[in-house]
Amino acid sequence: MIERPVILIPIILAAILGTTVFEFWVTYLNVKLLKSDLPDTFGATYTPAHYKRSQDYLKLKMLLDLVKKSAFIFVLLTFWFYGGFELLDMSIGRLGYGPIMSGLLFIGALVFLCGAISMPFELYNTFGIEARFGFNRTDMKTFMSDRFKTISLAIVIGTPLLSFFLALYHHGGDKSWFSCWIIASVFLVLVQFVAPVYILPLFNRYEALGEGVLHRAILNYTRKIDFPLKQILVMDGSRRSTKSNAFFIGFGSKKCVVLFDTLIATLSVEEVVAILAHEIGHHKQNHILMSVILKMVIMAAVLYLFSQFLGFVPLYTAFGVAEPSVHTGLIFFNILISPLIMIGKMAEQWLSRRNEFQADRFAILTLHKPTPLTTALKKLTVQNMENLNPHPAYVALYYSHPTILERIAAIHQQ
C-alpha cells in the first residue's frame, strides 16, 4: 500500500471542501434574498403572480445546482480514498500503450465519468425544471443529438490538443509550459472565430433576415456608426428554449449579426436595435480582446505552476498513485489549485461586468436615448425569469453581467 503524505492530504481536502463550502454559503445567501416583494422598477413589467413564479424557478435551479455539486464531491472523495485513481491508471497501463495514449484514455475515462454523473441533472433541468416553467422546447431526440454532437466535437478537437500538451510536458518537462501556452493561446483565439461560424450551425439553423422594418433599422444604425455588417441572420433558438440572445460571428468586414428568433418575437424594432447597439459596443471597445488577454494571462500562470508541480511526488502519492505521470499530475494539480481557479474565474466575471456597463453606455450614446435599451432589458429579464436581487457575493462568483437593477440605474445616470 502506498504511504500517503500526512501533511498534503489536509491541504487538498481544504482546497476541495473550501471551494465547495464557499459556493454553498454564497448560494444560501442568495436564496435568503429571494422575496415576494416586487421592486418598484418592475412594477409595470412583472405581474405579482409571474414574479412569485420566477422566485420558485430560481430556488429550484439553485437547489439542483447544490445537489449536483454535492454528488460530484461525494464521487470525487469516494473515488480518491478508495484508490480509484490508482486502479484506473494501472488498468490503462496494463494495456501497453505509450504515455500519450495512456494519458488520453485516463483523462477520457474521467471525463466520461463526469458526464455520466451530470446526465441525470441535465435531464431533470431540461425536462423537469425548464419544462415546468415554460422554457423548454427540446424533445428527447434533439437533446440526445446535441449531446452526441458535443461529445464528438470534444473528441475531434480535444484529442489532438490534449495530445500536444501531454507530449510537450512528457518530453520537455518543466521547460515546456511556454510552448503549451502558445498552443493554448492560438486555440483560444481561433475558437472566437471558428466556433460561431462552423460549430454553432451544427446545432441550429440560420436564415437571412428578410427585408422589412427591422432589417432597415439595423442597417441604418450600423451605417450611422460606421460598423461593417455583411449579413443579418436569424437563429432558430425557439427549437430548444424560449430564452433570447444575440451575438456576432465573423470579423472585419465579414461580420454578421445573429438574432434569436425569440428575441425578434419578444422585442420591438427599437428594442432589438438597442440590444444590437450594446453588442456592437463590445466590439467597438475591444472587450472581446480584453477577455481573451485575461484568459491567456490566467492560462500562462496555471501552465507555469503545473510545470513546477509536475515532478512533485507527494502530490501523486497523496492521491494514491505510485507512478508520477503527466496525465495524472494534470488532474491532481487542477484539484489542488481549485481555489486559485475560482479566483481567476471571479476576475474574469468582474471584467465582464465592467465591460457590460461600458457596452450599455455605448448603446445609449449612439442611440441618443436610453428608453429602448431599458425596456428591452426589462422584457428579457421577465422572459428569462432572472433574479432581480442577487446577493453581491453570488454576483461576484457567478455573474458575467451586472444585475438588472444596477444596469438600469447606470443607464439613467448617463
pLDDT at 191: 79
The two beta strands, 231-235 and 206-208, are antiparallel
Q: For residue 254, give the nearest of 236, 232, 231, 235 by alpha carbon.
A: 231
pLDDT at 319: 92
The dihedrals phi and psi of 130, each to the nearest 5 degrees, come to -60, -35
What cell was used for 390? 442577487
pLDDT tens-place string over residues 99-137 = 999 999 999 999 999 999 999 999 999 999 999 998 888
**3-class secondary structure per residue, the chain:** CCCCCCCHHHHHHHHHHHHHHHHHHHHHHHHHHCCCCCCHHHCCCCCHHHHHHHHHHHHHHHHHHHHHHHHHHHHHHHHHHCCHHHHHHHHHHCCCCCHHHHHHHHHHHHHHHHHHHHHHHHHHHHHHHHHHCCCECCCHHHHHHHHHHHHHHHHHHHHHHHHHHHHHHHHHHHHCHHHHHHHHHHHHHHHHHHHHHHHHHHCCCEEECCCCHHHHHHHHHHHHCCCCCCEEEEECHHHCECCCCEEEECCHHHCEEEEEHHHHHHCCHHHHHHHHHHHHHHHHCCHHHHHHHHHHHHHHHHHHHHHHHCCCHHHHHHCCCCCCCHHHHHHHHHHHCHHHHHHHHHHHHHHHHHHHHHHHHHHHHHHCCCHHHHHHHHHHHHHHCCCCCCCHHHHHHHCCCCCHHHHHHHHHCC
**pLDDT higher than 80, residue 2:** no
Please determine, for residue 138, whether its predicted confidence score (pLDDT) is greater than 70.
yes
* Catalytic hit among 207, 279, 356, 386: 279
Inform me whether the pLDDT recorded for 14 exceeds 80: yes
Q: What pLDDT sits at residue 3?
A: 60
pLDDT at 164 over 80: yes
CA–CA separation, 303 and 294 (whole Å): 14
For this structure, is 65 an active site residue?
A: no
Choose the weakest-confidence range: 147-156, 194-203, 373-382.
Answer: 194-203
Above 80 in pLDDT, residue 6? no
| 105 to 21, 92, 99, 170, 294: CA distances (angstroms) | 31, 7, 10, 16, 31
**Amino acid letter at 340?**
L
As given in the structure block, the three cell numbers for residue 341 are: 481557479
The stretch 323-335 carries a mean pLDDT of: 93
More confident residue, 32 or 245: 32
Give me the sign of the Cα torsion angle 219, 223, 224, 225: positive
Percent of the chain with pLDDT over 90: 55
Q: Which residue has the cell 422589412?
A: 212
Interatomic CA distance for residues 213 and 50, integer angstroms: 31
pLDDT, tens only, 60-92: 999 999 999 999 999 999 999 999 999 999 999
* pLDDT at residue 250 is higher than 70: no
What is the distance of C-alpha 301 from the center of its chain? 20
**Nearest partner of 335 among 64, 15, 112, judged by Cα:** 15
Give the count of beta carbons closer than 10 Å to the beta carbon of residue 197. Answer: 13
Residue 241 pLDDT exceeds 90: no
Residue 118, judged by CB atoms within 10 A of its CB (0-12, 13-18, 19+), counts as middle
Q: Which pLDDT score, from 0 to 100, does residue 5 have? A: 64
Closest C-alpha among 379, 386, 377 to residue 412: 377
* 236: annotated active-site residue: no
Examine the pLDDT at 1 and tell me if it is beyond 60: no
Question: 222 near 229, Cβ under 8 Å?
Answer: yes
How confident is residue 16, by pLDDT bands cut at 50, 70 and 90?
very high
In this prediction, residue 37 has a pLDDT band, given cuts at 50, 70 and 90, of confident
Phi/psi region, residue 180 (left: phi>0; alpha: psi -120 to 50; beta: rest), is alpha
Per-residue pLDDT for 229 more than 90?
no
Look up residue 259 and give its three cell numbers. Answer: 438574432
Mean per-residue pLDDT over the chain, rounded: 89
In the chain, what percentage of residues exceed pLDDT 70? Answer: 96
